[in-house]
Structure 1
């Protein structure tokens, strides 16, 4: 059955309305059976009947009827008026001097245009849409996996928190049980003593009674009383019942303590508006006063910490470039800095064993290592601390996750105990991406090593394209931006590499006459670069 008629069981002749259609008049578009063909041709209703097999219908062009002359078909096209016309219209004064074209030629041209459009739609536009649809399907599937992983992470964190609460409950119950045992032991000892005294008293009464009943003068005269039982009764033990003082649990504080999601832009329109600039712009420089500048860490929208070759870590205003405060660390070597989610400054001396935290302008030890030395660290969005450390014998490098002072996780080996990180004398700076990847600038390996949250190797970036740079890629500082791009300072090539979260090279941010070391992207989405050559912090606009 013709697909154009598959919605009908049988197509009937439009004249007799009984027989099955076999023929078709392409002039007046009437469906006919063979019996009715002669009647249709001989009738005056169709001026120029063109009867074909029904399967071949519309193979002959159907000319439009003229709007001005009844029963006349338009076989020409006026080029000036751009309208179909019949023979009578062509000879009228309205179209005098106009150029005409066979309407079938126009018809064929239009059909060729449609064929081109169909070909373009099928071979180009539809293919691109199909590829994009497939890509979106994959992204949706990947997104579902990532969110499943994220939900599992939150669930596991909740289970861990429950275990810790259960542990706290058990510890408090154990303390209560210990106090209970002490109290019971004390009362039991007192009861035993009293019972012993009762036995002695009963024995003394019996002896006295026996002596009393005796007529033996000598026995009465020589009776010796038990002085011990005549003592005053000892006081009851004083017991203090423990009181469990509960603290009010504030839901908001508990929610913040549980963990926070990183501030990722989720609206497609917002993401679309933020992109890398083709030519980043240096906004201004902040003079730090150091002879050599090492690192930077962003505090808030106006404050940035900087550290260099002095014992003081300084806080600067990023707008008016003034110094706001300084912290005396009493450390003389290369200093590493980071900030907690509450804004507390953390610092350590490279190759030392202690990380300090500054609270109320006072420094105190946060973590002290045994057998390992600090070579880099950062604070995560969950306020965990990721510490890159090397062993004292310089044979191993690892990343350890701490929550407060408690060690939670060690990230050191791939499969078959192949180490993630190299061992060398240089800083190994670290940051967490907004997708929770752990990004390490492994300078001695000449690579950026990116490990997923579940400690699987994502990729190693070794500089791209190396042919465009003069010197070997030796990553120093590392940070990430709002798009989950990874930014890495390349001191010896005076630039910053920008790599997406999958390891694809995107662009260079060239920094002429600059030796970039530490990096950070602030809450204002500007890039701040520690220029060790000039000891200035350089503020760069790189997103738009």
Structure 2
């Protein structure tokens, strides 16, 4: 009998079977609409079927977990499917029409559950990648101290015995007393170490219990359990307990004297020094150290003057904040010359301001939410896509709008002007397929990037796009739940799928060190990757006041500009030094 998912140990490996009737092949994919696991063959048939071809089929790791089915106690024929934002309780659709909830705001409970699952995965990742290994490191340090203390104490014994041999007959009794004193001190120190070991063991057991609790939240068996999970947003992991390194005794040699036998063998004293607390590396350092060091970085990356003078700061500092008039959300940012800023919202408003917040221009476009559909060229011109008419427009410094490029059957949804050579990189889609097309400065098509070397499509919805310092094309694809990166020739290099289930990337940019910065709408964080796609850290999190990061870009002074989807403010941060 198979265990329920909530009872499967976190490190267990088990064989997942396709959920299609009479199919027992290995499960690799999951339909989030049907909540059904499926193999590759059944996935292909699912996407060909007219009734299900628009369903969201993802890898099994990226699946959305289904809600437990429970009937409403007030309306027994209805399932509980909504969360009342005002009352913070799960309700059925019929409850939403009653006077108790009149005028309240409701959210799809399954969507809230998915967000909470993502947050729990983040907490599990913190425990597994930082709290638990750091605790194990402390245990190793304590074990090393035990060995060192034993060596020191053995040295004290040897010194005492060496002196005692010269006057053995006179000091046998005193020697015995001194040895007993040493043994008591050693026993006291070892008891201290045992107590510290027990404290760390208790803490590790607490971490393991906490992981089990979080896994329990991932697949609740009833609404009461789910309600508790929804209210656990402020859950804080207890800090690692402090331990100290005991100070070993020092043996002081005495003077040979028949009258004072005790002095012949010296004194054993414990220095009156406050024990030094063991150092616990901070989480930021721990997350940076998780980066693999096996890959050899190319020499041309190391020769950059910028890279020799810049490095990641130990903390992120807020520099300033701007309010953008004429928009009700900041879904994409393009920085122009002389501090000019272009910002778009989710209903097609595209506004240019100066750094004092004064509106300079406002135009209506066909762009919608979550599309990086505008960019500023090296010459300072604004380029923006019109997906309805399938064209790319240019606004020159004289504010004249001209049709620049026609894209045929493909809808252009994202665009980026290369800082390397001025080429335009355009993300497009048609049906359920996406591609990236490169144009030169004159608008001539020079490259199409669509499939990998196995013939598989690289993109579904390339809705944000940027270029790294080495020429890599970095695309944020929220349907694939991945950042897809190819080199300048179009060969697939890697795909980054986040640190937890449900990673949904939005705004993306790169910096002078080749870092990739990308917004995740589910965990409401900004991820920092290195040039090869290795996760370095969560650069910005809700704990830092960033609630809905949707767009990012880096200016010439290496500052990070962040726009949030539910406010018309742009915040600037310093994260490099």
| Bucket of the pairwise TM-score, normalised by the shorter protein | 0.3 to 0.5
TM-score by length of 1: 0.48
Greater Rg over alpha carbons, structure:
1
TM-score by length of 2: 0.45
